[in-house]
């Protein structure tokens, strides 16, 4: 019994040490430290939208849980994310329920002070004038004059290259991956933490690629 207990304690210690080591290797950066590290001259700063500058879970929650279809069913069907009508409604109307993230607001304010060009690059599916609608909403929320680029679920890398983005903020693993895949002038990826209340749980491992993680950016 003593041997078994000793083995359990050893495994627990190893697990704890492993977790501490992993946490210790994550490269956290503060907003102040980030600002000091940027070039003296203006750059192009790129931002993801969902879970980065906007807490958009309320809009997606409606898509997943509404009962406004026939007989109280979901108006978008069993797989609302695959329904183009939901995507269009999200961009055109439901996004009004999304809220600004404090971290996104502070980052944008910092880049505005520096005179940087700000662009939004999102994997959302956009139809007709959707990008223009999203653009107007974000420009109003953050007092900007910037462009929105929708990749329609495709890679963001070509858009990062096209816009000349030099620093990109995103919450998802793919945001970091797309930034790292840019050829030529490199893009500096910064991980923005998701809100703990976000319903988006997939593809999220802060520090996975050794990227910088913005401190307290989940709010």
Q: Which positions are annotated as active-site residues?
A: 48, 50
> If you search the block for the tokens 């977790």, which residue do you land on?
19
Nearest-CA neighbor of 200 among 97, 54, 72?
54
Q: Would you tell me the crossing angle of helices 130-142 and 84-92 to the nearest 10 degrees?
A: 30
Query: Per DSSP, which regions of 142-219 are E strands?
Result: 147-150, 167-170, 188-191, 212-214
| SS3 at position 52 | coil
Query: Per DSSP, which regions of 70-141 are E strands?
Result: 99-100, 117-122
**H or E element in which residue 29 lies:** strand 27-29
How many CB atoms sit inside 10 A of residue 182's CB?
Answer: 19
């Amino acid at each position: 019994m003593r041997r078994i207990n000793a083995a359990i304690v050893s495994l627990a210690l190893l697990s704890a040490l492993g977790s501490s080591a992993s946490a210790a290797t994550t490269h956290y950066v503060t907003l102040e430290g980030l600002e000091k590290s940027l070039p003296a001259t203006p750059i192009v700063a790129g931002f993801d939208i969902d879970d980065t500058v906007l807490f958009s879970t309320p809009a997606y929650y409606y898509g997943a849980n509404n009962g406004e279809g026939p007989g109280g069913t979901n108006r978008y069907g069993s797989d609302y994310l695959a329904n183009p009508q939901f995507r269009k409604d999200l961009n055109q109307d439901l996004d009004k329920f999304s809220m600004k993230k404090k971290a996104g607001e502070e980052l944008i304010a910092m880049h505005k002070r520096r005179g940087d060009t700000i662009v939004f690059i999102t994997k959302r599916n956009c139809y007709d004038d959707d990008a223009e609608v999203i653009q107007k909403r974000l420009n109003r929320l953050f007092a900007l004059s910037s462009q929105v680029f929708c990749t329609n679920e495709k890679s963001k890398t070509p858009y990062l290259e096209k816009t000349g983005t030099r620093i990109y903020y995103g919450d998802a693993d793919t945001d970091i991956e797309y930034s790292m895949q840019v050829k030529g002038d490199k893009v500096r990826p910064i991980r923005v933490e998701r809100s703990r209340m976000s319903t988006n749980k997939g593809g999220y491992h802060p520090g996975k690629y050794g990227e910088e993680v913005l401190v307290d950016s989940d709010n």
